[in-house]
Amino acid sequence: MSETAATHTPENGTAGNGAVLSIPTTSFRDGSAIPLIGFGTSSLRGTGAVTAIASALRSGYRLIDTAAQYGNEAAVGAAIRESGAARDEIVVTTKVAGGDQGREAARRGVEESARRLGLDRIDLVLIHWPNPSRGLAVDTWRTLLDLREEGLISHAGVSNFRPEQLVELHDATGEWPEANQIQLSPALARTDTVAFCDEHGILVEAWGPLGGRDGLPEQFALRKVAERHGATPAQISLRWAIDRGIIVIPKSSTRERQIANADLGAIALTDEDRALLATLDLGEDAAWDSREHEEW
Ligand SMILES: NC(=O)c1ccc[n+]([C@@H]2O[C@H](COP(=O)([O-])OP(=O)(O)OC[C@H]3O[C@@H](n4cnc5c(N)ncnc54)[C@H](OP(=O)(O)O)[C@@H]3O)[C@@H](O)[C@H]2O)c1
């Protein structure tokens, strides 16, 4: 990691308000803290979403990942209020949907997200996918920088951007995103993209960190490492990522799994473990390709 890249302290979290979890943090380029383990919400909807997200917050999660596209921002807001967690301790992330890209459309999109969340400021806003066929990522990026300047958002970043797509934003504005949320697990180590982000002080967040859609939990190498540590395959995948300074945002509807996914302090992976896990990497080509894949 370069000097400007985020530092992380995987052993030292801070517990609060009787929460059972003590989640370690890393930091944005400006030094403000963000938990290394957050809570994903993509398939949660309605009252079930409120229950699951409030449960995660009560257990000690302080990073919540949503998106305009998920249709659950109102539920995230309701869960925050229901949980009783202090607003200034929580990092809320949302994302600009493909259909909201553009200079003015992105502004309206983020304002609508804030309204649905019931927040007067959003901690982190990402461009959900680059969607190159529309050519609006740079305009959208300029708007996020304006909104950060104006104070509606605290941090501006992107999701699913490849290094050359990050360079395009930087060339146009002189500003690197503060975070890049990408598909990442031991099945998709994304070594080059992570190295590029580290070099430019861009925090990496892992979506799909359990690798379920890539058949990762069934892999012998992962189960072998899990057995060695008396841990679950999910915990090993998550520990492997945070040891690289990468933020993980696993989603679970059950309280037991929510807690297990953020209770990683006792797991100390060895070089031998890491070598075994490295055999699981399917390579960059196995990840969804944001030069072609677009979302709205
Ligand atoms: N930026 C993007 O384009 C993008 C794309 C996809 C996702 N995301 C974000 O990333 C978050 C995480 O990704 P994801 O939801 O796709 O995948 P994930 O968190 O890797 O996996 C979630 C699945 O794993 C199960 N699970 C959770 N904990 C488990 C455990 N300890 N053992 C076994 N199974 C477990 C969950 O089921 P149960 O609920 O039954 O536990 C759920 O089916 C999303 O929720 C979303 O916030 C972003």
Q: What is the pLDDT, as a whole number, of residue 128?
A: 98
Q: What is the pLDDT along the chain (296 residues), one digit of tens a residue?
A: 332 333 344 443 444 555 789 999 999 999 999 999 999 999 999 999 999 999 999 999 999 999 999 999 999 999 999 999 999 999 999 999 999 999 999 999 999 999 999 999 999 999 999 999 999 999 999 999 999 999 999 999 999 999 999 999 999 999 999 999 999 999 999 999 999 999 999 999 999 999 998 899 999 999 999 999 999 999 999 999 999 999 999 999 999 999 999 999 999 999 999 999 999 999 999 999 999 999 99
Indicate which atom in ligand 1 lies nearest the CA of residue 209: 20
For residues 186 and 208, the answer to whether their CB atoms sit within 8 Å is: no
Residue 260 in contact with ligand 1 by CB distance below 6 A: yes
Q: Ligand 1 centroid to 241 CA: how many Å?
A: 15
- Is the pTM higher than 0.85? The answer reads yes
The catalytic site residues sit at 70
Residue 109 in contact with ligand 1 by CB distance below 6 A: no
For CA atoms 22, 206, 62, 142, the dihedral sign is positive
Q: What is the pLDDT, as a whole number, of residue 19?
A: 77
Please compute Rg for the chain using Cα positions: 18
Structural domains of the chain, ranges and CATH numbers in brackets: 31-280 (3.20.20.100)
Residue 212 in contact with ligand 1 by CB distance below 6 A: yes
Q: What is the pLDDT, as a whole number, of residue 18?
A: 57
Burial class (CB in 10 A: 0-12, 13-18, 19+), 128: buried
Q: Ligand 1 centroid to 211 CA: how many Å?
A: 8
Q: Ligand 1 centroid to 252 CA: how many Å?
A: 6
Testing ligand 1's pocket by substitution, the residue of 37, 39, 42, 161 carrying the most ligand atoms inside 8 A of its CB is 42
Question: 152 — phi, psi (to 5°)?
Answer: -70, -30
- Name residues whose C-beta falls within 8 Å of residue 216's C-beta, 6 or more positions apart in sequence: 185, 186, 187, 210, 222, 233, 237, 280
Q: What is the pLDDT, as a whole number, of residue 17?
A: 54
Q: Ligand 1 centroid to 213 CA: how many Å?
A: 9
Let me know how long the chain is.
296
Indicate which atom in ligand 1 lies nearest the CA of residue 295: 3
Q: What is the pLDDT, as a whole number, of residue 5?
A: 32
Residue 225 in contact with ligand 1 by CB distance below 6 A: no
Atom 7 of ligand 1 has which residue's CA nearest to it?
Answer: 207
The region that residue 263 occupies, defined by phi over 0 for left and psi between -120 and 50 for alpha, beta otherwise, is beta
Testing ligand 1's pocket by substitution, the residue of 252, 255, 263, 294 carrying the most ligand atoms inside 8 A of its CB is 252
For residue 34, which of 23, 25, 45 has the smallest C-alpha distance? Answer: 25
Residue 207 in contact with ligand 1 by CB distance below 6 A: yes
